[in-house]
Amino acid sequence: MTQIDENKKVIFYFDGFNFYNGFKSYSGTNPIWKNYYWIDFIKLCSQFVFPHDGQVLHKVKYFTAPPINVNKRSKQSALFGANKIINNSTFEVINGHYADKFIDCQASCKKQFKVPEEKCTDVNISLGIIEDCLNNDVDIIVLITADSDQVSTVKFIQKKFPKIKIKLYFPPDRKSNELKSLFKQVVYLENHEDKFKNAIMPFEVKNEIKKYTRPMDWKK
């Protein structure tokens, strides 16, 4: 019988902005998916890891930025706080920030408007993946995004770290032909509703210090 000498460390890298907006868009036409906002990310990702092949879920890294809107920020904080209670350091949030972006109105008024734009997430994802590769902390990369800005990152990893396997998962309702062209196959997360359903957290998650509850509008 063949012995497995070493575990293969799997790290999931979530492009949080891309994942959240795809999820929100998909739940608009599939309301049942609102039940899956309150998700245990480690439990979700572990269902895509194959122990029989020596794979071990090493970490889930979620790249995002705290929303400017107070209500949205509170919900995000509850989601991440609950995940950290359940999963400790296996779940990690890497924050960027928002900066003002000025756009010109295309209608007759021609006024300029200020809108918030998420910054640093793309760079943080790239740097996070490269750092883990350099430190030998990852054997299998799972990148969850449909943002073509990550094409350069994927090409770099494929060229410089050929022994490290990289997989691409598209968030619900998000696709990129440019990214897809770099892979033999892609996972479409909307085709795995059963895994999301299995990973719903309890309504209340708490420890001796903190307590988090699912936002009331995060259900069908």
Q: Domain map of the chain by residue range?
A: 8-213
Instruction: Read off the pLDDT of residues 134-192 as tens digits, 9 standing for 90 and up.
Output: 999 999 999 999 999 999 999 999 999 999 999 999 999 999 999 999 999 999 999 99
Q: Which contiguous run of DSSP H or E holds residue 63?
A: strand 55-64
Does residue 76 register a pLDDT over 60? Answer: yes
Q: Which residue has the tokens 């930025």?
A: 65
pTM equals: 0.88
| Orientation angle between helical segments 151-160 and 121-134, nearest 10 degrees | 10
Closest CA to 145 of 134, 129, 161: 129
Task: Report the alpha-carbon distance of residue 179 to residue 149 in Å, rounded.
Answer: 9
| Long-range pairs, 123-129, Cβ under 8 A, ≥24 | 124/63, 124/94, 124/96, 125/13, 125/15, 125/63, 125/150, 125/153, 126/150, 126/152, 126/153, 126/156, 128/13, 128/61, 128/63, 128/94, 129/13, 129/153, 129/157
Q: Can you tell me the distance from the alpha carbon of 171 to that of 188, in angstroms, rounded to the nearest whole number? A: 7
Residue 35 DSSP code: G
- DSSP strand E in 68-139: where? 91-95, 97-104, 112-119
Query: Residue 62: CB partners within 8 Å, gap ≥ 6?
Result: 14, 16, 41, 80, 91, 92, 93, 94
Look at 102 and 215; give whichever has higher pLDDT. Answer: 215
Please give the share of the chain, as a percent, with pLDDT higher than 70.
Answer: 87
In angstroms, what is the C-alpha Rg of the chain?
19
Tell me the pLDDT tens digit for each residue of 110-137. Answer: 665 544 455 568 899 999 999 999 999 9
Task: Give the CATH number of domain 8-213; options: 3.50.50.60, 3.40.50.1010, 3.40.50.920, 1.10.1740.10.
Answer: 3.40.50.1010
Q: Helix (H, G, I), strand (E, B), or coil: what is residue 1?
A: coil
